[in-house]
Structure 1
Amino acid sequence: MGNLLLGCSAAGERLVTAARDGDVIEAQKLVEMNPGLARYATFAGFSSPLHAAAAGGHAEIVMMLLEKGANVNLKNICGHTPLMEACCSGRWEVVQILLLFRCNVSKVELLSGRTALHFASAGGHARCIRLLAADLCPGFSLSTVTDSLALTRFINKAANGGITALHLAALNGHSDCVHLLLDLHANISATTLSYASSPMAIGAGSSPLHYAACGGNLKCCQVLLARGASRTAMNCNGWLPVDVARICGSHWLIPLLTPHSSQLVPVFPPSNYLPLPLMSILQIARINGLRSSTSSCDESDLCAVCLERTCTVAAEGCGHELCARCALCLCSTSSIDSEMSAPPGSVPCPLCRKGIVSFVSLPTNEMEAGQSMSLCSKCSGHVDGQCQNPFATACGSELCRKNLFEIVPPVVCGGVSQGHVAMNDI
């Protein structure tokens, strides 16, 4: 038994190393030899293979481990989830995959109480923030995106000491993240707790503008002021934002932050990173997956972007068709010029440049999904052993038969057509 455990541990360490280094072949070989390795939590390095792959941005290994049963919400010795590791280093491709496997974006780190949003904001990773927000968006218009109660609570979740994602983005000078968070209804007046110490001696009770003044980024201060931040807000040390700028040596901010400043503040349009079409494509990808076959399609069915996979989604509005993978990457990376006449948060279609606000799934051949097993497409995606097709009468699976439906219209299922079937005939 001891030798068995020792050998398993050694294989686990090799898998962690392969995941960290992005060695796909080695990782696949180890998991094929022992599929249970994908589900291991920790080894001597105090991190799982999934954490190592997520931190390194190795999306293919992350996908493989999750498909083999790795826990998408597993915490390591530091209390980090794989999503936190990916957001720390800005690995948006990995964030995509973790969201497709329905990771919990609201998990908090044990020591600091920070979520993945805090880590993405501190690092200036606007693409990751956009993906995290899209997981909680209830609709596809700017008003519904910003009026979601769940999204607002998530954006304003305070870590230990009352520090929000907006504080961290402002402190580190990430103006794009500040802009995006404010458009997602981040609380511009949020203050750190009066009984908690504050980083860099800014002082408890500090607002995001105090933190921006400490960080010394002019655009961050301008964005905050343009959205209503107060120059006269005083923290528990009795300091105004301009006082923090003086103490931290950010003298170029003094003319802007002086309480009665006459300096003009630019007007900022909605952020280019709003997640308008992302929720639609995330939901489609969760249901239908990202992989699509090219074996039985002609060139007219191929995605015009990758020229490899079949088109599975269409952009509402212009109607151009793409594969789900290209559509998801497009929504995660692109931003539209604010001067273009398109809804805020839309992304430009790669074929006609019109703004895309959402995607719809293309109709599929009802026989394709279950053809190889003589199953209807609903049965091939059954949940909890129950057939999901109320009109399936000719399916070769017992799943349809277990539902004992009464007379229904004739259907084609698994390549076989049958007529009316009564309950007594089953």
Structure 2
Amino acid sequence: MGQGLSCRVQDEHGLFTAVQYGHLEVVKSLLHKDSSLIHLTTVYDRHSALHIAAANGQMEIVSMLLKDASVNPDCLNRHKQTPLMLAAMHGKITCVEKLIDAKANILMFDSLNGRTCLHYAAYYGNSDCLETIISAARTSQVATSWGFSRFVNIRDGKWATPLHLASRQRRAQCVRMLLDSGALVCASTGGYGFPGSTPLHLAARAGSIDCIRELLAWGADRLHRDASGRIPYLVALKHKNESCAALLDPSSAEPLVWPSPLKFISELNQDAKALLEQALMEANKEREKTILTGAGYSLPSPSHSDTGTVDDNISEASETELCGICFDQVCTIEVQDCGHQMCAQCTLALCCHNKPNPTTTSLTAPACPFCRSNIARLAVAKVKVNDFDRNLDLDLYSSCKLPKFREA
């Protein structure tokens, strides 16, 4: 990413220009001659040197400025934006990390739209910045004072959450990250977009199949109506996003939905979770292919996160232990503590579900198909390949394209 913030203002001392272009020695020289310049701001936008350095990713200058005890990491410009907000906006991850280390407040709101640094990172699709801010919220006083879930679902001045912004801007990676962190998939906006819009309405308007896919997998309601009574399907049609409309059509097959949040599976190894996520998304892509082909549309080009081709040496290895349920796929998931193993697809059939019925007050926990004990913990299985026991190589198996999902 290029320069984040230009200094098209009168700069009689040359400080702001030097900061923008990372001329560290010039900045040091100017501040040595006149230390008061460290608090100088631009005339109109009231950008400080720290704002400009953070927005342009000038890490060395940011570090130098923060060493001065008189420099406030949460200094405000004309729109009450902090340096952290500008760094998140422009995707300057090292500056985001440095400012957070310097105790910059992630709960500051600007005066433009009432947005925080989390909103900025989501809106501009800077997933690395988003991840860093979310991580900071887990480990800082935010978690105890505000509550982590409340922070992830923080509203701006128009009642838009970061998930709303990411969905409207087609930021699928940010959408997934926010959902995985507890973002509410069916929250409604106030004045952002059309009143009463959910993230699914906004993704339908933007025409983002990737965002729609993520939202549906986390239980987004295709029948939720905005303030005008429109469901996401009608929004997609209005904006001529026909392929999105085909997936959102209430008459089309329901997608598989993650147990949200993983319902009965209280302990899920991260590697096992990645395998299950991949299997679920592949299963839903098969559904999408069927729907779009039937509607006369072609499936969009694979995104960078899509899996590659099948490794024939893996999929056809005669020595590989196969799932005892489908007798087709490699055992990749292990139920603990009973130790029984099955493939990711069969695990999904047991643990995932269609959209839950709100009238149902109690649900039955999924049970191991071999011993009928409740499934509470899942981990990556140990598989036997060519008579050598080893832990599953996640990278190797995640490069394999999974076949069409089989209903249990």
Which residue pairs with 1:253 in the alignment? 244
Which residue pairs with 1:40 in the alignment? 40
Which residue pairs with 1:29 in the alignment? 29
For the residues of structure 2 that align with 1:105 and 1:164, how far apart are their CA atoms?
15
For the residues of structure 1 that align with 2:274 and 2:118, how far apart are their CA atoms?
17
Deviation at 1:90, TM superposition (A): 0.7
**Contact 1:11–1:30 (Cα < 8 Å) also in 2:** no
For the residues of structure 1 that align with 2:170 and 2:46, how far apart are their CA atoms?
32
The worse-fitting range, judged by mean Cα deviation, of 231-240 and 67-76 is 67-76
Which residue pairs with 1:172 in the alignment? 169
Q: 1:10 to 1:114 in 2, by over 3 A?
A: closer
Percentage of matched positions with identical amino acids: 32
Deviation at 1:147, TM superposition (A): 11
What is the TM-score with the length of structure 2 in the denominator?
0.58
SS at match of 1:161: coil
For the residues of structure 2 that align with 1:49 and 1:186, how far apart are their CA atoms?
34
Deviation at 1:129, TM superposition (A): 0.9
**Contact 1:122–1:172 (Cα < 8 Å) also in 2:** yes
Q: How does 1:117-128 map to 2 (within 5 A)?
A: 117-128=118-129
Deviation at 1:247, TM superposition (A): 1.0
The worse-fitting range, judged by mean Cα deviation, of 147-156 and 75-84 is 147-156
Deviation at 1:17, TM superposition (A): 1.4
1:220 to 211, 214, 222: 211
Deviation at 1:217, TM superposition (A): 1.0
SS at match of 1:60: helix
1:234 to 209, 225, 234: 225
Deviation at 1:45, TM superposition (A): 5.4
**Contact 2:44–2:78 (Cα < 8 Å) also in 1:** no
Which residue pairs with 1:101 in the alignment? 102
For the residues of structure 1 that align with 2:380 and 2:188, how far apart are their CA atoms?
37
**Contact 1:114–1:158 (Cα < 8 Å) also in 2:** yes
Please list the CA deviations of residues 138-168 of structure 1 after superposition, one character each: whole Å capped at 9, or x if unmatched.
Answer: 49xxxxx999962211111111121110001
**Contact 2:84–2:99 (Cα < 8 Å) also in 1:** yes
**Contact 2:219–2:257 (Cα < 8 Å) also in 1:** no
SS at match of 2:99: helix
What is the TM-score with the length of structure 1 in the denominator?
0.56
The worse-fitting range, judged by mean Cα deviation, of 24-33 and 88-97 is 24-33
For the residues of structure 2 that align with 1:88 and 1:270, how far apart are their CA atoms?
30
Which residue pairs with 2:63 in the alignment? 63
Please list the CA deviations of residues 106-133 of structure 1 after superposition, one character each: whole Å capped at 9, or x if unmatched.
Answer: 0001121011111100011111111111
For the residues of structure 1 that align with 2:380 and 2:23, how far apart are their CA atoms?
45
Which residue pairs with 1:133 in the alignment? 134
Which residue pairs with 2:80 in the alignment? 79
For the residues of structure 1 that align with 2:145 and 2:231, how far apart are their CA atoms?
32
Which residue pairs with 2:183 in the alignment? 186
**Contact 1:210–1:244 (Cα < 8 Å) also in 2:** yes
Aligned residue type for 1:246 = L
Aligned residue type for 2:77 = N
How many residue pairs match? The answer is: 259
**Contact 2:45–2:78 (Cα < 8 Å) also in 1:** no
Which residue pairs with 1:163 in the alignment? 160
Deviation at 1:26, TM superposition (A): 1.1
Structure 1: which 5+ residue stretches go unaligned? 1-8, 140-144, 273-339, 343-352, 356-426
Please list the CA deviations of residues 265-309 of structure 1 after superposition, one character each: whole Å capped at 9, or x if unmatched.
Answer: 58798689xxxxxxxxxxxxxxxxxxxxxxxxxxxxxxxxxxxxx
Aligned residue type for 1:217 = S
Please list the CA deviations of residues 342-376 of structure 1 after superposition, one character each: whole Å capped at 9, or x if unmatched.
Answer: 9xxxxxxxxxx999xxxxxxxxxxxxxxxxxxxxx
Structure 2: which 5+ residue stretches go unaligned? 1-8, 260-271, 276-378, 382-392, 396-408
Please list the CA deviations of residues 363-402 of structure 1 after superposition, one character each: whole Å capped at 9, or x if unmatched.
Answer: xxxxxxxxxxxxxxxxxxxxxxxxxxxxxxxxxxxxxxxx
SS at match of 1:160: coil
SS at match of 1:127: helix
Aligned residue type for 1:261 = S
**Contact 1:72–1:101 (Cα < 8 Å) also in 2:** yes
Deviation at 1:219, TM superposition (A): 1.4
Structure 2 residue 50 is matched with structure 1 residue 50 = yes
For the residues of structure 2 that align with 1:174 and 1:113, how far apart are their CA atoms?
20
**Contact 2:218–2:257 (Cα < 8 Å) also in 1:** no
1:210 to 190, 201, 207: 201
**Contact 2:45–2:77 (Cα < 8 Å) also in 1:** no
Deviation at 1:20, TM superposition (A): 1.4
The worse-fitting range, judged by mean Cα deviation, of 18-27 and 113-122 is 18-27
For the residues of structure 2 that align with 1:341 and 1:61, how far apart are their CA atoms?
45
Q: How does 1:400-415 map to 2 (within 5 A)?
A: none
Structure 2 residue 19 is matched with structure 1 residue 19 = yes
Which residue pairs with 2:405 in the alignment? none
**Contact 2:24–2:60 (Cα < 8 Å) also in 1:** yes
